Amino acid sequence: MGYGWGGAVVADTRQQQKSLMASAFATPFYRRHWVTQPEEWSELPILRDSDLKAARRDFPENVFGGRLTVPERNLLYIWPPSGALKPDISIYMGITDDERTHWVDVITRQWTVLGLGAEDVVQVLSWSNDPFVAVLTTAVGGASAYGSPAVDELLGILTVRLELVPSEARRTLATAELLHPAALFADSAHVEAMRQLLGTKTLASLGYRSVILRSVEWVEAKTRKQWEEAWQIPVRRLLEIPYALGYGLDCERNPQGVHFARDHYVIEVTDDNGHLVTEGTNGYFTITPLFLRSHPIIRYQTAITGYLEHEACDCLDDGVLFIPRPEGRQ
Amino acid sequence: MKGAFAVERYWDQTIQTMRPEDVRERQLKLLQRQIQYVYDRAPFYRDLYDRHGLKPHQVKTWDDFRKRVPVFHKDDLRDYQRRTGDPFSGLLCVPRSQLVGLWTSSGTTGLPTLGAYTRTDMAMAIEYMTRSYWDAGVRPGQRALLININFHWLMPLTWGMARRLGLRPLLFEFGHAMMAERIAQWILDYRPDVIPSITTELATLVPVALRKMGHDPAVALKGVKMITTMGEALTDTARKSLQQEWGGVTVRDGAGCGEGYVWMFEGSCDHPGAHCWGDIGYAEVLDPDTEESVGDPVGRGELVASNLLVQGVPYVRFGTEDYVDIYDDHCERMGHPYGRILGRSNWRVRVRGKDFLPYDVENVIQRFPETRKAEFFVTKEAAVQDTLTVSIAYDHDLTRNPDALRMSLSEALESELSVPIAITWVQSSEIPRPVPHKLQKFVDRSKNG
């Protein structure tokens, strides 16, 4: 199944974990959260929303709650995670130019898997403080006209930035009628609003090849199927973990699961006590973005439940798949 | 792109203090080049100029330019788009692969149209904005709150300006009125020095939200040094009121249409009104009914914009439908005219031979606390009318006697505008909003009957 991850890459990931632990322990937040300098990754306490919220109160000197490892001025931009995507708006995120480059790599690979390439037009719907848009388009983002390219420029794609709010569906359709985009990144509410306006026309008749649903909650395979039937177009799903800059794309071959790029994220499944569970056992999805060094998020435990499978498919890097189980732990 | 030469209150002193005659000479040369460029590359211009019997080499003087080069409007672009199916209305002069950013107009006046930036065009647009903010005293390391709208032409400029100036930007979303409390919280959290674009409506509501949250706005907002209001024309009354509510903040006005590259962001000078940088764009003011020049470029009328350097989607003599007032007081940057946008050309209501815009009404009603939010619209009942009809929503918490308020407002408006006024009360929700960040303050009923 798939091709091997390779010993050298595993060693590199370990190295990154070690250096991330060391730099994080220099911050007031992790010094308190971990208490002692950690030796092993698996011994690190997990991180929850409640920890991040409490840190805002306990370390009030900046909006990062004592997690900054670099001067704040080194950040290209800072944002409170979008209210539209439901996370708490009092927890702030930021990104440096270097971190942005890694993140651009994550998304570029996903877009390639989605079959998007040169000459395509892609509509990306987001809130304007949503970091997603910052890496996708050259027009915005920290780079703007002066810095490293974004996903669209790397792939030769023309991106149309639009608002996620369903009341803007008319504008989404108007630009689609002009530009015949290949793909639409949106949430289901917006696509439904578009469908109401379309009448007897279909999304495919406007040129769309697929809709990619953005969500912070996993959309089950059967729901995806229902959307596909209702919208008459292939639907793919992005699972977004905003605090960890985590963006996973559903599996092409196994619609039950989602892939996160393993050279950029450490993906684990942990139990209520924060301990690792064995493969195939249900637990909480726990993520670490290895590239996020400016204000590390380490072993961030989400409320999403599911399990890991190492032999579930033969796509992407090594076939490791997270299979969410929205009904909760068994 | 002369940021390296920035000194004190000049981002680029050489360019910004050019003599008017030098600016004009340069503009004519660049316009001649641009006319040839668009004629060779853009089917819309070839079609337009051929229909008007214009060949680019015929434009040798300013007189040739004014007499021969046709003015066009957004409807001409929509017509071209409908006829040909070209999403860029025949304006695109480069392969699509050279575009790195695409935006749509806000759709205030109909179906949105498309605009786009090449990498070079975007850098120039950012330069335009950066000048004004540097001149206004914005400096590297300062904290900025950037309000944005994804589809808007302004978004790449504010992001780019923040990057160019080395600011520490916090991004926050769509400046809708319902966001006031959230934005107030972010201001408390992040303590910004500058807010480069905030809708006038939202700027009015943030202090109200802070009060509700138990803060004294004058204290909570004391650290904010400058805000730039966008979305609607900023009246003198609103400016004074905001300055007071925001604890003495400097209030600048910003406005423009994406196509123009003749935008107006105050900041370079202390006088009200913003400079249009004449090395990048050329501004004219024409009578919207006759298309005759009302001054060169001084006067009150429709802004007609030409970009001098744009390569991707250039506009030459584009009637922006923005109604502006351009001034001619002396100023060391006078090679670059300055003024402000008052509203849209087609928002004019003619009452007893005089033209009025919602701006004229707003300036008066904002002096009353009960109507300070300026939730209103004026109605055009006929081509010419005897009375100026205004529908206003008042603040229910502050109004004890609506009849007395109506009388006071009528007296103030009649005294200021010298025409009879008819006021109708409406609910706030009855004021049309074509897009979430704008109130529609003009309603045309003249064609109904």
Structural contact between residues B344 and B361, judged by C-beta atoms closer than 8 angstroms:
no
Task: Give me the pLDDT at residue A55, please.
Answer: 94
Could you report the per-residue pLDDT of A263-295, keeping only the tens digit for each?
899 999 999 999 999 988 999 999 999 999 999
Average pLDDT over residues A238-260: 92
Query: Which residues on chain A are in Cβ contact (under 8 Å) with B159?
Result: 77, 140-142, 144
Per residue in A159-194, pLDDT (tens digit) is 998 988 898 899 999 999 999 999 999 999 999 999
CA-closest candidate to residue A250, choices A221, A279, A281, A207: A221
User: Domain locations in chain B?
Assistant: 3-122+257-345, 136-255, 349-444
Do B149 and A133 lie within an 8 Å CB cutoff? no
Question: How far off is chain A from B230, nearest CA to CA, in Å?
Answer: 17
What does the alpha-carbon distance between residue B68 and residue B77 come to, in Å, rounded to a whole number?
Answer: 20
**Count of domains observed in chain A:** 1
Whether A284 is in a domain gets the answer: yes
Contacts of A74 in chain B (CB under 8 A): none
Q: B396: burial class by Cβ within 10 Å (0-12, 13-18, 19+)? A: exposed
Interface contact flag, B155 A139, Cβ < 8 Å: yes
CB spacing of A126 vs B150 below 8 angstroms: yes
- Spatial CB neighbours of B72, under 8 Å, sequence gap ≥ 6: B48, B317, B318, B319
Contact assignment for A80 to B168 by CB distance below 8 Å: no
Asked if A73 and B168 come within 8 Å (Cβ–Cβ), the reply is yes
Q: Cβ of A17 under 8 Å from any chain B Cβ?
A: no
In chain A, residues with a C-beta closer than 8 Å to the C-beta of B107 are 171, 174
Residue A32 is assigned to a structural domain of this protein: no
Give me the mean pLDDT over the B40-57 stretch.
98
Query: A170: distance to nearest CA of chain B, Å?
Result: 9
CA torsion, ordered B77, B80, B81, B86, to nearest 10 deg: -110
Q: Quick check: is A47 in a domain? A: no
In terms of CA atoms, which chain A residue is nearest residue B113?
Answer: A175
pLDDT band at A330 (very low <50, low <70, confident <90, very high): very low
Chain B contact present for A159, CB below 8 A: yes
- A56-77 mean pLDDT: 91
Question: Over the stretch B149-193, which tens digit does the pLDDT of each residue have?
Answer: 888 888 888 888 988 898 999 887 766 777 888 889 889 999 999
3-state secondary structure of A57: helix
pLDDT at B383: 86
Decide if A3 touches B, using CB distance below 8 A: no
User: pLDDT at residue B265 above 90?
Assistant: no
CB B290 within 8 A of CB B304: no
The confidence band for A1, taking pLDDT boundaries of 50, 70 and 90, is: very low
Is B136-255 in the same CATH topology as B3-122+257-345? Answer: yes
Answer CATH for B349-444 from 3.40.140.10, 3.30.300.30, 3.40.640.10, 3.40.50.2000: 3.30.300.30
Residues of A in contact with B170 (CB under 8 A): 77-80, 92
Categorise residue A240: left if φ over 0, alpha if ψ from -120 to 50, beta otherwise: beta
Chain B residues lying within 8 Å of A80, measured CB to CB: 170, 172, 186, 189
Q: Does residue A20 fall inside a structural domain?
A: no
Q: A174 to chain B nearest CA, in Å?
A: 7
* Closest CA of chain B from A211, distance in Å: 19
**Pick among B171, B172, B189, B197 to test the A interface (most A CBs inside 10 A):** B171
Interface size A-B, in CB pairs within 8 Å, comes to 147
Task: Enter the tokens of residue A295.
Answer: 């204000």
Mean pLDDT across chain A, nearest whole number?
88
Q: Which of residues 278-317 of A touch B (CB under 8 A)?
A: none
Cβ(B54)–Cβ(B68) below 8 Å = yes
pTM, to two decimals = 0.89
Q: Which residue matches tokens 């032409």?
A: B153
pLDDT in tens, B71-88: 999 999 999 998 999 999
Q: What is the DSSP letter of A84?
A: G
| Average pLDDT, integer, range B352-365 | 91
B112 contacts A133? CB cut-off 8 A: no
Mean pLDDT calculated for residue range B340-369: 91
CATH of the domain at A95: 3.40.50.12780
- β-pairing, A258-259 with A246-250? antiparallel
Q: Do B171 and A78 touch (CB under 8 A)?
A: yes
Q: Which residues contact A240 (CB under 8 A, 6 or more apart)?
A: A85, A132, A214, A215, A216, A246, A247, A248
Taking a C-beta distance cutoff of 8 angstroms, is the pair B306, B300 a contact? no
A24-41: per-residue pLDDT in tens? 999 999 999 999 988 899
DSSP string over B335-397? TS-EEEEEEEGGG-EEETTEEE-HHHHHHHHTTSGGGTT--EEEEE-SSSBSSEEEEE---TT
**Is residue A251 in some structural domain?**
yes
Split at pLDDT 50, 70, 90, the class of A301 is very high
Cis peptide bond upstream of B297, omega within 30:
yes
Q: Does A129 touch chain B (CB under 8 A)?
A: yes
pLDDT above 70 covers what percent of chain A?
A: 90
Q: What is the pLDDT of residue B197?
A: 87
A152 touches chain B (CB under 8 A): yes
List of residues 6+ apart from A65 with CB closer than 8 A = A29, A52, A54, A55, A56, A58, A59, A91
- Which residue carries 């040369």 as its tokens? B29
Q: How far apart are CA A86 and CA A37, in angstroms?
A: 34
Q: Which of B163, B170, B173 sits opposite A144 (nearest CB)?
A: B163
Confidence of residue B443 (pLDDT cuts 50, 70, 90): very high
Superfamily in which the B3-122+257-345 domain is placed by CATH:
ANL, N-terminal domain (3.40.50.12780)
Q: Give the Cβ contact number of residue A98 at 10 Å.
A: 15
Q: Is residue A222 part of a domain?
A: yes
CA B304, CA B69: separation in Å to the nearest integer?
A: 12
Q: Do A127 and B170 touch (CB under 8 A)?
A: no
Residue A82 pLDDT more than 70?
no
> B286-289: which pairs have CB atoms within 8 A and are 24 or more residues apart?
B286/B71, B286/B319, B288/B319, B288/B321, B288/B323, B288/B345, B288/B346, B288/B348
Residue B10: DSSP 8-state: B
Lookup: tokens for A88: 């708490």
Instruction: With CB atoms and an 8 Å threshold, state whether A175 touches B114.
Output: yes
Specify the residue for token string 């570029």: A108
Q: Which CATH architecture has domain B136-255?
A: 3-Layer(aba) Sandwich (3.40)
pLDDT at B295: 76
Domain span at A219: 75-324
CA dihedral of residues A272, A276, A279, A281 (deg, nearest 10): -10
Chain B positions touching A147 (Cβ under 8 A) are 163
Helix (H, G, I), strand (E, B) or coil at B98: helix
User: In the predicted model, what is the mean pLDDT of residues B231-249?
Assistant: 89
Cα–Cα dist A258/A244, whole Å = 16
